[in-house]
Amino acid sequence: MPRYLAGAGSRTAPLARHALVFHWPRNYNRELDQTFVSSPDHRIRIASGQLDPGAWWRISAAREPLGKPQWMAAFSKDIPEEFVTAAIDSLIVPMPTTDWTGEKHPALKNGQFNGDAAMDALVAAGWRHMGGLGGVRRAESPDGLARAVLRRDADPLDLMGHCALAIEAGPEDAGEPYWQALFTADTPALVTDAFVRSLTDPAPLRRDGEWMDEHLLAHAGYTLTEDGLVPIPPAYTDKDLTLATAQTLSTLLAAADGVLSVEDVMAHLADRALPSTQTGPGPHTTWGQLPAEQQRLAAMLTLDLVMDSARYSHRLLGLSDTDATRHSRSLFAPDGAVSRPAWQRTTRGRIPNTPLDSLTFTNDDLYAAAGAITAHAIACTEPMGVSEGFYDQPIPSRSTPDGQDVYWDDLPQHLGKPAHDEIYRRFAAVSETAGGLFAPGMPRPAPLVAAAPAYLAGPGHTAASTPATPLLAAGWNFVDAPLGDIYLSPCGRIRTTATYAAGGVSWSTVYTDPSTGDPMWHFTADDRTPAEITAAVHEALADAQATTPADLRYPALSGGLEPLAEADWFMDNVPGHIIWTAPGGETASVSRTISASAIADGANPHWMVCGGDLQPGGQGWYIEMADRVPRPLLTAVAAALTSTEPVARLARQIPPEHRLHLDTVPLEWRTAAPPADRAAAARRRPLDGKATTPGPHPADPPRTPLPAPRRRTP
């Protein structure tokens, strides 16, 4: 136990020692219950008794006998008597009594104060330097129960107000200190140094229990029993501190896009080289050299990775997933952290319309960027921000006798502050190993993936541009209309419109009879239709218009769906309809209305193509086609539905309810032909389906059927 918690002792030893051993004159004022001892020449005076509030002992020194004090020191009633004795003993110097003069005694010379030396001695003994401003320096004991303040510009004779050096013990939030020692500006270093040496001496002090304050002992972690001092159970364990650090880290990472903006991430990464470009002797590419849209997309995906890592960041602190689940109330993820699916939190903002086959960066580049941004976010977090991450959380190992939780914020300051400091230290240290969150073996998801089948992969982030590419390549005319983008065929008979809505872009095509101007057939894809399926239809449309335009004028009387049969889709007849269903579950279907009674009952349009979950709130999609839709379009739809080619996707955009029914693997890359410019020197391109056909992810749970596609009726 630290000496400063040992209690006062007898309170009589300091003065008795000097009166009896050193033969200093001693006087007692019975009326005031005060005792006075002075040096033989009456220049140094020591008094005990309640002279001032907070000053039981006082030392004063004057250059002339009984003169005005040059310096003063005061000690409160409950200070350990050994500290006072050390300060008084320092005044006894080996010189004849006749030489006690102001010119010769070291305690009476000018310029002897050295408060910085006293503070340095405290720091050397393990006290924490707490900084300070405006000529003020502060230090605190390791347990937070003692403090020292040095005021370099203090008034020379200010003792009880704002003295030059003040040292006190007791909980800082308790109001009055348990004891205090005060020194004015001219107090000689021999006095302050002697006091500090006694204060920091590791040798224990012997005390009877009656001289020890039970309240202060409780703050120090002890209780007094008949057998002596007994440690009380700790307020928290080392694992509690680790769990609180994990809580703080998880909270920060989960809200990373609120701490750092996309622009912040772009600026921080600008000068960093992409690891995928550092494999050869040639020039490396930095993030700042990429096209602006690629930089923005990479910054968003990097923030996505940082936020997603909140679900398993406890591993970086040595905690197991079992720990995270058992103590889930102390971690950000209430459902057991790792069990939470990836991409529950994604960066807000518009996703740049950048085709994935043009990207310069890879998944590994994004992992490296995420490690750098995680370290940056941790380093930017102030101690107060760390407190906000755990202060309102229960301490896992603690509860009250009646079973109530004990929260970190419930701890008294002398216990809470050391805990906060240690949690902050551990939290800050994580910045050195933050890259480990995205190392192989961690449950890091791949931001860029290849997914199959395409009809469950979602529309993709380029759904507004990809379907238009075949039309523009074939020379169709573009018209920027108020309600959407219009693409007109060279012959003027076909009009394709892209309509923008909050959820995405829907596409519709109308073929007009050249003789009457009336619509002959229409094709409509909603805003959830995968871009590759709509693009396949548009490619067939543009090709047929350019090579065999007559094929677009007449309906498909038979055939067109051969790819479905070849892919083992199941065909079923129900009254008024023919339905083709994808194998392995009702995850996609094609239906055609064939009877007049069904049409009379409202089964319109005549063709309906569905994919995914079309239940209310689901992420499924549909295509509507008129009965007279031509064969090239039917074949294009069927071929797109049965294609086994994986499609490139941002993993964050894959519909969650479809993930169990998709084969997804990280997007693989191959080196592009070396271009001339540095920024493109490391460009990589997807394998475009030439990779091994992806299989199910080993961590995926058993698949369950999606709800049956709901047929759309007017």
- 399-419 average pLDDT score: 81
**What's the confidence (pLDDT) of residue 412?**
78
Tokens of 140: 């605190």
Radius of gyration, alpha carbons of the chain: 40
**What's the confidence (pLDDT) of residue 698?**
35
Higher pLDDT: 323 or 664? It is 664
Q: What is the b/e burial string over 175-214, where b = at least 16 CB atoms within 10 angstroms of the residue's CB?
A: eebbbbbbbbbbbbbbbbbbbbebbbeeeebebeeebbbe
Contacts of 180 (CB under 8 A, 6+ apart): 54, 75, 76, 79, 166, 167, 168, 169
Task: List the one residue out of 452, 296, 410 whose CA is nearest residue 359.
Answer: 296
Which of 55-59, 82-86, 132-136, 273-277 shows the lowest mean pLDDT across its residues?
132-136
Residue 336: is its pLDDT beyond 90?
no
Which of 191-195, 409-413, 452-456, 627-631 shows the lowest mean pLDDT across its residues?
409-413
Higher pLDDT: 497 or 204? It is 497
pLDDT tens readout for residues 217-241: 676 667 777 777 777 778 899 999 9
Owner of token pair 């995270």: 324
Which of 118-122, 123-127, 177-181, 611-615 shows the lowest mean pLDDT across its residues?
611-615
Tokens of 227: 């057998």
In SS3 terms, 476-510 reads as CEEEEECCEEEEECCCCCEEEEEEEECCEEEEEEE
**What's the confidence (pLDDT) of residue 51?**
67
- 85-110 average pLDDT score: 72
* Number of Cβ within a 10 Å radius of residue 221: 18
Task: List the one residue out of 607, 586, 450, 460 whose CA is nearest residue 530.
Answer: 460
C-alpha span between 358 and 469 (Å, rounded):
15
pLDDT tens readout for residues 338-351: 556 777 778 888 89
pLDDT tens readout for residues 149-200: 999 999 988 988 899 999 999 877 767 888 899 999 999 999 999 999 999 9
pLDDT tens readout for residues 430-478: 999 999 999 999 999 999 999 999 999 999 988 888 999 999 999 999 9
Tokens of 218: 């409780």
pLDDT tens readout for residues 266-318: 999 999 999 998 776 767 899 999 999 999 999 999 999 999 999 999 999 99
Residue 709: is its pLDDT beyond 50?
no
Burial class (CB in 10 A: 0-12, 13-18, 19+), 159: buried
**Degrees to nearest 5, angle at CA 43 with 37 and 44:** 45
**What's the confidence (pLDDT) of residue 515?**
81
Per-residue pLDDT band for 405 (boundaries 50, 70, 90) equals confident
Most distant pair of Cα atoms in the chain: their distance: 134
Per-residue pLDDT band for 481 (boundaries 50, 70, 90) equals confident
C-alpha span between 306 and 346 (Å, rounded):
9
Owner of token pair 């310029």: 111
Higher pLDDT: 492 or 35? It is 492
Task: List the one residue out of 299, 312, 309, 330 whose CA is nearest residue 255.
Answer: 309
Contacts of 3 (CB under 8 A, 6+ apart): 80, 82, 83, 198, 199, 200, 201, 203, 204, 205
C-alpha span between 396 and 310 (Å, rounded):
20
Burial class (CB in 10 A: 0-12, 13-18, 19+), 173: exposed
Per-residue pLDDT band for 621 (boundaries 50, 70, 90) equals very high
pLDDT tens readout for residues 673-686: 333 343 333 333 33
**What's the confidence (pLDDT) of residue 28?**
64
In SS3 terms, 407-461 reads as EHHHCCHHHHHHHHHHHHHHHHHHHHHHHHHHCCCCCCCCCEEEEECHHHCCCCC
- Beta bridge partners, 497, equal 486, 508
Residue 561: is its pLDDT beyond 60?
yes
**What's the confidence (pLDDT) of residue 340?**
64
**What's the confidence (pLDDT) of residue 204?**
84
Most confident of 182-191, 320-329, 700-709: 182-191
pLDDT tens readout for residues 684-696: 333 333 333 333 3
- Alpha-carbon distances, residue 644 vs 449, 456, 563, 566, 663 (angstroms): 15, 12, 12, 13, 10
Cβ pair 200, 121 in contact under 8 A: yes
Tokens of 427: 């939290």
Tokens of 85: 């004795």
Cβ pair 649, 355 in contact under 8 A: no
**Degrees to nearest 5, angle at CA 444 with 442 and 448:** 150
Q: Where are the alpha helices (DSSP H) in 49-202?
A: 81-89, 115-124, 189-200
Residue 353: is its pLDDT beyond 50?
yes
**What's the confidence (pLDDT) of residue 36?**
81
**Identity of the residue numbered 308:** D
Cβ pair 331, 357 in contact under 8 A: no
**Identity of the residue numbered 485:** D
Question: What is the length of the chain?
Answer: 714
**What's the confidence (pLDDT) of residue 170?**
84
Owner of token pair 């977090």: 381
C-alpha span between 534 and 467 (Å, rounded):
6
**What's the confidence (pLDDT) of residue 712?**
37
Tokens of 544: 């047929």
pTM of the model: 0.71
**What's the confidence (pLDDT) of residue 10?**
62
Which of 210-214, 307-311, 351-355 shows the lowest mean pLDDT across its residues?
210-214
Residue 672: is its pLDDT beyond 60?
no
The SS3 of residue 231 is strand
What is the residue-averaged pLDDT of the chain?
82
Residue 208: is its pLDDT beyond 80?
no
**What's the confidence (pLDDT) of residue 215?**
67
**Degrees to nearest 5, angle at CA 419 with 413 and 424:** 120
C-alpha span between 551 and 544 (Å, rounded):
7
Higher pLDDT: 530 or 329? It is 530
Cβ pair 498, 505 in contact under 8 A: yes
The SS3 of residue 350 is coil
- Beta bridge partners, 499, equal 506
